Amino acid sequence: MQSIEQSGGIILNPKGQIAIITSTKGLKTFPKGSCEPGETYLETAKREIYEETGIKDIRLRSKLGILVRPGYTADNHSEPSVIKNIHVFFFTSNTDELQPQMPDVLDAEWVSINKVKKVLSWPEEREFFEKQRARLKL
């Protein structure tokens, strides 16, 4: 199976909530996406966060690691056909309003830290979040 490099973030607001997006497939996930030529992983994460949530005001706290999970491609939505290596960064933001800028995101919402694990669609993301939550003492 082909693997692709992506980058994204876990964004925490002052209310103890995490930004989660809903894709056109109805899957709930952290904002992330593929790198454009010449972009660093951090630049990709910031761009993707803006495109998928509308958040511009973010402060980098740390790089969390690489989340590996299956994924879909633009031309194959029936079953996961790639492995995604997602470089995940931890950010904070004071932004309240979420406004996706891309049509491939149906919704963006703030979810309380205690409910994130329940709403994420991918088990690999749930496991990654729980490990990082313990590490960051969230």
Which CATH number covers residue 20?
3.90.79.10
Cβ distance 136 to 89 under 8 Å? no
Each residue's pLDDT tens digit, 40-87: 999 999 999 999 999 999 999 999 999 999 988 767 667 888 999 999
What's the structural domain count of the chain? 1
| pLDDT number for residue 75 | 72
pLDDT over 80 (residue 118): yes
| pLDDT number for residue 58 | 97
**Kindly report the CA angle at 42 between 39 and 40, in degrees rounded to 5?**
25
Amino acid residing at 70: P
Domain that holds residue 23: 2-136
Residue 95, classed as helix, strand or coil, is coil
Look at strands 17-23 and 82-92 and give their pairing: unpaired
pTM: 0.94
CA 31 vs. chain centroid, Å, equals: 3
